[in-house]
Structure 1
């Protein structure tokens, strides 16, 4: 190729390079504009979220609460009575320094001694292990969850229903209190979550434990077994605000309507739970939400509009604070535990209407 051809090729290459330089700023500006718009959208969601809960808690309390919610979740270990405790004791040197939580739970649970609630680093336990017989030695969970099962006042021979049981921590806690002649029915609608629930129960119990019954029903339609259980735990699906603050994608789905929709379903679940418990039996309604719309207001609607009469059982606990109809554990007031709300309801009579109460009150 002659010099003319070479020159023309060089000119074309130079023009392409120049054109690409000219286009780059436009692309960068478009990208920056999109990023700025996305950032504005996220800030708008956060501001709406913060304003929503500031109205409920007041400015000063909300500032301390949201900072506590942003910090890592605090956990304890619940020792499994069905595992070999001697094997667990040999693990103690490998665990952080422990302190018993016997001041507010009656089953063996331990937290990290000298826990620093102000740290931004998660203080973790090593994963649980299996003993020589294949049974898992402990379960890691929030101590507030253990306290909710404490509120059920489970007796060794009770027939217990865990209506929304996955992932299984509260079910394992219930099992620590049941005796040889007690029974536990666990329910989870989602097949994937139910499969995981079965794995948890299989891991924490001796093989072929006949006290356990795993179901996969819609909890809002649990009307085929009226007055079958002495105690019912309803750990209702909720907004789970602390989890949202630690999961950016999930947080972007939040809106004020979310708590309203959750409350509607929670009331249906609570009606079914009350329908299932014996007269004189207890229902513990719980959530990990900080919204009164999903907590006290659901209980209030059950008392006022439910066709089955119930009364609130009021108790005080060593951690947390009283609400109108229950108790709430919030991390800014409990050195990091929670959030966990629960209300104890006692069924006081038969249904006011022979037909099942599965209608939407709204």
Structure 2
């Protein structure tokens, strides 16, 4: 009798949650204001680097109402009812027909139209059921190909979406989520607690190092390293309301590749021979993407660049990839494919001779 009652309560709670989803998912936020100085800067740089591709990407990026959001289900609080609801709403699992690369457990639902479901609020003692994200941000996690028992470093982890995706993909032996900023690290910790049961939290370590220190302090420790580097966050920059801050970002933009190269070198030093490092950004900038990879290859850091063509082919029906990227993959925001920007490159550390 008690078990039957508890099941009925759980079913009713699930139904209430779905009703709230239906009500909230149609609410639109006020239109964001475009930062003119950032747009002028992007027009100057990206029209040269991307040509006609920038025209299409520009159209999408300037229209937040056309942006798409993906729903990543939480394996630790999985609900068949919620999954069925998303399916009935016309969303599709991007991993349903993907054979290469393996998608582990990951379940991520996307809609062909611009639609954003409400983010779930934290409730004490209850895990969240899903996480909202740009679907292209899962590509670095897939490229990492984490296996059970791996020692993994997410060097620039906050706000934590990719760390969470790693834990959805496979349960590593240990995942180090690094964030030097105190406030961002606190938010990262709270996010992980909202999605992970206590038994799984022992596999996660929060760290506050400068990412450039890992190679020296922890040499050849990790099987996989993700460097989702600080970058020119194109979508955020375009809609900043702080004009002085925007001008400062533009003026100091040329300094970012120096930091990015240093972070990658540190990650390579922290890798075991044969280990994988994935470098990613959320910018279209050639100087922060292919040029950074070129610097690593030219400096002979003991790694080889790996081909990601199979990944591009597997997701060609979902994402628009740039045809003019020298190294790695670049996802371009496009009409009805409003994902990205997202750049991904993968290195493998060579064994010593």
TM-score tier after normalising by the smaller chain length: 0.7 to 0.9
Deviation per CA, 1:283-311, whole angstroms, max 9, x where unpaired? Answer: 000000110100011111111115x3111
User: Which ranges in structure 1 are unaligned for 5 or more consecutive residues?
Assistant: 1-41, 117-122, 353-362
Matched with 1:110 is: 109
Residues 164-243 of structure 1: pairs in structure 2 closer than 5 A: 164-179=156-171, 182-208=173-199, 209-222=201-214, 223-243=216-236
Matched with 1:324 is: 326
Shift in Å at residue 163 of structure 1?
A: 0.2
TM-score, L = length of structure 2: 0.78
Say which SS state the counterpart of residue 57 (structure 2) adopts.
helix
CA contact (8 A) 2:281 2:289 kept: yes
Matched with 2:16 is: none
Q: Highest relative contact order (Cα 8 Å, sep 6+), 1 or 2?
A: 2
2:248 aligned with 1:248: no
Say which SS state the counterpart of residue 55 (structure 2) adopts.
helix
Deviation per CA, 1:175-220, whole angstroms, max 9, x where unpaired? Answer: 01223x6220110010000000000111111115211110000011
Deviation per CA, 1:302-323, whole angstroms, max 9, x where unpaired? Answer: 11115x3111110222232452
Residues 1-362 of structure 1: pairs in structure 2 closer than 5 A: 46-58=39-51, 60-72=52-64, 73-86=67-80, 88-89=82-83, 92=85, 96-102=89-95, 103=97, 106=103, 107-112=106-111, 114-116=112-114, 123-128=115-120, 134-179=126-171, 182-208=173-199, 209-222=201-214, 223-249=216-242, 252-253=246-247, 256-306=250-300, 308-316=301-309, 317=312, 318=315, 319=319, 320-321=321-322, 323-332=325-334, 335-350=337-352
Matched with 2:9 is: none
Deviation per CA, 1:7-37, whole angstroms, max 9, x where unpaired? Answer: xxxxxxxxxxxxxxxxxxxxxxxxxxxxxxx
CA contact (8 A) 1:326 1:341 kept: yes
Shift in Å at residue 88 of structure 1?
A: 3.4
Deviation per CA, 1:228-258, whole angstroms, max 9, x where unpaired? Answer: 1111001001011121112232673266543
User: Which ranges in structure 2 are unaligned for 5 or more consecutive residues?
Assistant: 1-34
**Which of 1 and 2 has greater Rg?**
1
Matched residue pairs, number? Answer: 299
The 3 A distance-change label for structure 1 pair 44 and 232 is closer
Between the aligned partners of 2:141 and 2:116, the Cα distance in structure 1 is 23
CA contact (8 A) 1:284 1:344 kept: yes
Say which SS state the counterpart of residue 247 (structure 2) adopts.
coil
Between the aligned partners of 2:348 and 2:251, the Cα distance in structure 1 is 30
The 3 A distance-change label for structure 1 pair 93 and 46 is closer
